[in-house]
């Protein structure tokens, strides 16, 4: 007797969306292997010597991986109780973007390198190995970043004004020298950004004594202000983790929670 369609969909759903069953866990591991293989193929194809030697094998593997991800994406839509919600979800969008590049490459050759977006699918490994404690820390970090966004924006604006002023000042000091590389304000501001962030490419350097003195000042200034955004986010994280739950239990699932948790490690509820 043929099984009802809803039972087939439920079985397929448990394999594709759940990892509590042996079949679901096995599929997720196969999925990780296919993602790793896809990314490895993309790297090899950018190395001319290897790409030419293994051209036929790489093409076959790419077809196999593309068919796998296409069938998987269609199957997820088919068995999902709410297909629209899955398609518009974070994982749904990532799954689609991981499937489309091989097809888009026929019209836009460089689009195939969007395959690197498949790396985001490795987030599913949190579900496979039940790393809920790490997910809790991730929630705290994301919340702290959102809460610090306004302060970081003000800081970024301040730095933008500062590098513009320093670049202009360096242009005024260096522009009169015949061997100068500070030929315009845009180049001078670029130098100020590179120097203040302590990157120091060395493609543009001052030649006058005053210019070198100013350059040394900008380098030291960079060390003093580069840690400010980290300090802002760290202070917010400390404020969040110091707030302790009142009764030690999650209000949603009733499970015990750790003192520093801001989200339940069992159900994800905000505490």
Measuring CA to CA, which residue among 140, 111, 144 is closest to residue 233?
Answer: 144
Q: In sequence order, what are the residues at sequence separation of 6 or more whose Cβ sits closer than 8 angstroms to the Cβ of residue 39?
A: 115, 116, 118, 119
Contact 51, 58 (CB under 8 A): yes
**Rounded distance between C-alpha atoms, residue 260 and residue 106, angstroms:** 51
What's this model's pTM, rounded to 2 decimal places? 0.54
Mean pLDDT for each 10-residue chunk of the chain (271 residues)?
59 79 82 84 83 87 88 90 86 81 73 65 61 61 79 86 92 86 90 88 88 91 82 74 58 66 64 59
Q: How many residues does the chain have?
A: 271
């Amino acid at each position: 007797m043929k099984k009802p369609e809803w039972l087939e969909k439920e079985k397929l759903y448990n394999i594709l969306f759940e990892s509590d069953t042996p079949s679901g866990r096995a599929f997720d591991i196969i999925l990780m292997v296919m993602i790793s293989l896809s990314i490895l193929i993309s790297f090899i194809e950018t190395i001319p010597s290897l790409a030419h030697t293994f051209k036929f094998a790489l093409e076959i593997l790419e077809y196999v991986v593309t068919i796998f991800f296409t069938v998987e994406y269609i199957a997820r839509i088919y068995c999902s109780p709410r297909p629209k919600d899955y398609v518009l979800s974070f994982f749904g969008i990532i799954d689609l973007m991981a499937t489309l590049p091989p097809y888009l490459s026929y019209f836009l050759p460089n689009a195939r390198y969007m395959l690197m977006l498949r790396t985001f699918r490795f987030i599913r490994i949190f579900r496979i190995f039940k790393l809920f404690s790490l997910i809790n820390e991730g929630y705290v970090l994301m919340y702290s970043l959102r809460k610090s966004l306004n302060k970081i924006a003000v800081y970024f604006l301040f730095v933008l004004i500062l590098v513009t002023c320093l670049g202009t000042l360096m242009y005024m000091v260096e522009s009169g020298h015949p061997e100068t590389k500070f030929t315009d304000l845009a180049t001078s501001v670029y130098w100020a950004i590179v120097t203040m962030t302590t990157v120091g490419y060395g493609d543009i350097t001052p030649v006058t004594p005053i210019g070198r003195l100013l350059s040394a000042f900008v380098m030291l200034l960079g060390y003093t202000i580069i840690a400010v955004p980290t300090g802002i986010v760290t202070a917010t994280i400390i404020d969040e983790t110091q707030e302790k739950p009142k009764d030690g239990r999650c209000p949603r699932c009733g499970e015990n929670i750790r003192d520093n948790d801001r989200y339940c490690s069992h159900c994800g509820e905000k505490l």
